[in-house]
Amino acid sequence: MVTIKEIAKKCNVSIATVSNILNGKPNASEETRKKVLETVKQLNYTPNYVAKNLKMKKSKAIGVIVEDITVFCTPEIIDGITKCCEEFGYHILLTNMRMYKKFSDTYYVNEDFKQIVDKEINELLSKQVDGIIYVTAHERKLKCFSDNLKIPAIIAYGYSKNEFIPSVVVDDKNGAYIAIQYLIDNGHKNIGVITGKENSIHTNDRLEGYQKALYDNSICFNPEFVAKGDWSRESGYNNTDYLVNKGVTAIFCMNDIIAGGVYDRLEQLNKSIGCDISVIGFDNRELAVFYHPSLTTVALPLFEIGYTACKNIIDALDNPDNIQKNQIIEEKCYLMERFSVQSKK
């Protein structure tokens, strides 16, 4: 690797002059500037960021800890982080903990979990990252950072239990609201729901959004229209008859997988999806496009969550004394209009 010293020697100037020119400082004659810049190109010099970082005491790097990169929401979140890093000249140090592969889906109750996270955070600290983004694989409340962390940090997708660590999350209420509003706009009044697992943040918030949308449209909430599912396709399949018999004209499924089960059963019942019964999903999983008819659903603002989380860190870096307590940033969902909902008007 060619260093600043070598190009200084080649140009018969001091390393200080080269450094100044490279960093766009005004003090340098046009002549030497030209000469230096030329040899820089000629020798294909690239600055050594490691040395620079050591000197400057910051790395322009953001540590990104993801619980599992193979989970469907993670890549989009990273994509948002990337975009933001690109815009502001940061780079990403990625830590993929591979939690699902290591401990299956109950990893977060595992004894070792907290220790692993601590170790990874310290690792990132050693590498002098300027900030840390923790990306959960599913929504839940957690405390993963110690209270005396000295650099900005944030949780993406999950909810922070830590007063001074903000979180960026899906606005589930809003997501359910726009889904139901869309159904109402299409003339539906008797709208069934198949929920996710009980006590899940998603389930509760989405139910609340559903109720709010009904209320705002002066439609009475009928508790009998709520069927308890568990996110699985089977729970969609098994609850379809019940809702159909209750006379609903549309079914709001709290995820796209449940909607798949509803499709299965409606086909067996010879009901035309869209015409006889409208179906709307949640999550906008890749497979929703391939349903027949393709599924109208609510897209998660994953990219936005990543982008906002990263922007928040960078803002905190630029403005260290501007911290808010218990900050929760909710990103709005958006509707993916396809062909599983038709107008009743």
Residues in the interface with a copy of itself (CB under 8 A) total 46
Q: How far is the CB of 47 from DNA (least distance, A)?
A: 4
Candidates 9, 13, 327, 329; binder of DNA (CB under 7 A) is 13
- Residue 17 CB coordination number (10 Å): 20
Which residues between 56 and 115 bind DNA (CB under 7 A)?
A: 56-57
- 130 and 111 Cβ atoms separated by less than 8 Å: no
Which residues between 29 and 48 bind DNA (CB under 7 A)?
A: 29, 31-33, 45, 47-48
Which amino acid is it at 259?
A
CB-wise, 217 or 272, nearer to a copy of itself?
Answer: 272
Q: How far is the CB of 241 from a copy of itself (least distance, A)?
A: 18
Q: Does the footprint of DNA cover residue 299 (CB under 7 A)?
A: no
Phi and psi, residue 64, nearest 5°: -115, 115
Does the CA dihedral 48-49-51-56 come out positive or negative?
Answer: positive
Candidates 9, 52, 98, 344; binder of DNA (CB under 7 A) is 52
Candidates 25, 33, 34, 127; binder of a copy of itself (CB under 8 A) is 127
Q: Does the footprint of a copy of itself cover residue 78 (CB under 8 A)?
A: yes
Phi and psi, residue 60, nearest 5°: 55, 35
Q: Does the footprint of DNA cover residue 19 (CB under 7 A)?
A: yes
Q: How far apart are CA 184 and CA 188, in angstroms?
A: 5
Give the 3-state secondary structure of residue 25.
coil
Closest CA to 246 of 265, 226, 218: 226
Candidates 23, 27, 104, 126; binder of a copy of itself (CB under 8 A) is 126
CB-wise, 19 or 238, nearer to DNA?
Answer: 19
CB-wise, 86 or 163, nearer to a copy of itself?
Answer: 86
What order do you get walking across the sheet with 191-194 strand by strand?
226-227, 191-194, 250-253, 278-280
Q: Does the footprint of DNA cover residue 199 (CB under 7 A)?
A: no
